Amino acid sequence: MPPIDPTDIDAAIAALAQGRPVILPTETVYGLAANAADPSAVAAVFEAKGRPRFNPLIAHVADAEMGRAVGQLDARAERLAQAFWPGPLTLVLPVGDPALVCDLARAGLDTVAVRSPGHPLALEILGRFGGPVVAPSANRSGRPSPTTFQDATDETGEFAAAGIDGGPCAVGVESTVVALLDGPPRLLRPGAVTREALEAVLGPLAAADAHAHRSPGRLLRHYAPNAPVRLRATEPRAGEAYLAFGPALEAPGVFQLSASKDLREAAAKLFALLRAADATAPSAIAVAPIPDEGLGEAINDRLRRAAGHVG
Ligand code: AMP
Ligand code: MG
């Protein structure tokens, strides 16, 4: 394949139309994108990631209008889309036109996950392509998500026919996933749209993570570096790398998530620092305690999975 020109938007759109995967910047993490309606394009994404086929993909749309073709938005979904799109919120809905997001992308379910990403280049590509695009994180399955174009091409660039460099991802953790099906709304995955922000629109949500296991693909060890991960560590042990949160000595092997304890800064740096720490081949990556409020809920969710602590 010819080398990727990371500024060539026409080439990215042409590749999508030809059913070939494209590295796509979003505000959350870099995605490996493909035409959601094309089963062989979607299959190429599953193969490139080594992703289990029972794990459904999110359909990315240019706007709420495209979202309404893909899924059925009830009044609650409309309110959330109005409040948070474009942005890091995925809605799981009854499927709309099933041909727009093929069976393989939905893992055979009669529901569909939809979001409109808050990144100008992603929106331009989606708008000009004119249909929904699956775009799971561009890492090999189970590994930390890429938050720079370089990390994305290191992971799955060999499978991509095109790719766009949109700079480092502003959010850095994957979208919040909320199911709006029969019964009350359910938070399936915490993310940058916090529980508090959702409750401001929807009213109180069900108890924390009570149903999270029902979201397919919430696998035990995910987002994982090669080294083991040790959580809530107040300091590193000999041989360990350390992800600090708050003031810390500058030393080799110490990586700062946020000296000022800013959760946004920590989320944006999380995966890049896990990769950087891993590259020093430590005995383990120790991570400082992170408060479990606001965006901290999403950071701790990813860290527990990186450590293999949740199912
Ligand atoms: P990712 O692994 O970042 O591509 O995110 C996809 C997430 O959306 C996973 O947690 C999936 O389980 C969830 N998801 C996608 N489609 C559905 C669906 N139809 N029903 C429930 N969860 C879904
Ligand atoms: Mg992923």
The residues with which 243 forms a beta bridge, in sequence order, are 255, 287
- Which residue has the least CA distance to atom 21 on ligand 1? 215
pLDDT at res. 310: 57
Residue 311 in this model has a pLDDT that exceeds 70: no
pLDDT at residue 207 in the model = 63
pLDDT value of position 206: 78
Q: What is the model's pTM?
A: 0.93
Q: Which atom of ligand 1 is least distant from the CA of 218?
A: 10
Q: Where are the beta strands (DSSP E) in the chain?
A: 22-24, 31-35, 58-60, 89-94, 111-115, 133-134, 162-163, 176-179, 186-189, 229-230, 241-245, 254-258, 285-287
Residue 224 has pLDDT above 90, yes or no: no
Question: Same domain for 159 and 38?
Answer: yes
Taking the C-alpha atoms of residue 186 and residue 208, their distance in angstroms, rounded to an integer, is 9
Ligand 1 near 136 CB (within 6 A): yes
pLDDT of residue 3: 83
Percent over 70 (pLDDT), the chain: 94
Residue from 57, 176, 220, 222 whose mutation best tests the ligand 1 pocket (most atoms within 8 A of CB): 57
Alpha-carbon distance of 32 to 213, in angstroms, equals: 25
pLDDT digits (tens, 9 = 90+) for 121-173: 999 999 999 999 999 999 999 999 999 999 999 999 999 999 999 999 999 99
Q: How many domains does the chain have?
A: 2
Distance between CA atoms of 95 and 37, rounded to whole angstroms? Answer: 13
Domain containing residue 271: 229-306
Percent of all residues in the chain with a pLDDT value above 90, rounded to a whole number: 89
Structure confidence at residue 130 (pLDDT): 98
Counting from 1 in the atom list of ligand 1, the atom nearest the Cα of 51 is 2
Ligand 1, atom 9, lies closest to the CA of 217
Q: Per the domain annotation, does 221 fall within a domain?
A: no
Quote helix, strand, coil % in the chain, to nearest 5.
Answer: 30, 15, 50
Mean pLDDT on 194-203? 96
Q: Are residue 154 and residue 260 in the same domain, yes or no?
A: no
Who wins on pLDDT, 208 or 202? 202
Report yes or no on 142 lying in a domain. yes
What's the pLDDT tens digit per position in 18-32? 999 999 999 999 999
User: Are the C-beta atoms of 255 and 241 separated by less than 8 Å?
Assistant: yes
List beta partners, residue 23: 32, 163
Residues 136 and 267 in one domain: no
My answer on whether 210 and 274 are in the same domain is: no
**Residue 221 pLDDT > 90:** no
Q: For 254-310, write each residue's pLDDT tens digit.
A: 999 999 999 999 999 999 999 999 999 999 999 999 999 999 999 999 999 999 875
Separation of alpha carbons 112 and 91, rounded Å: 8
Q: What is the pLDDT of residue 211?
A: 47
Q: Does residue 311 fall inside a structural domain?
A: no
Question: Which residues fall within 8 angstroms of residue 139, CB to CB, at 6 or more apart?
Answer: 49, 145, 146, 151, 152, 155, 156
pLDDT in tens, 63-116: 999 999 999 999 999 999 999 999 999 999 999 999 999 999 999 999 999 999
CB atoms within 10 A of CB 142: 17
Same domain, 234 and 142: no
Which of 215, 220, 271, 310 has most ligand 1 atoms within 8 Å of CB, for mutation?
A: 215
How far apart CA 58 and CA 188 sit, in angstroms, is 13
Q: Output the domain CATH number for residue 13.
A: 3.90.870.10
pLDDT, position 219: 57
The model's confidence at residue 222, banded by pLDDT at 50, 70 and 90, is confident
Structural domain includes residue 274: yes
Q: Are residues 75 and 40 in the same domain?
A: yes
Tell how far CA 146 is from the center of its chain.
9
Is the Cβ atom of 113 under 6 angstroms away from ligand 1?
yes
How high is the mean pLDDT of the chain? 94
Q: For position 1, what pLDDT does the model report?
A: 65
Are residues 254 and 184 located together in one domain of the fold? no
Domain presence at residue 20: yes
26 lines ligand 1 (CB under 6 A): no
CA dist 69 → 65, 110, 141 (Å): 7, 14, 29
227 Cα to the center of ligand 1, angstroms:
26
**Residues 209, 233: one domain?**
no
- Say yes or no to pLDDT of 244 above 90: yes
Q: Identify the nearest ligand to the CA of 223 by its number.
A: 2
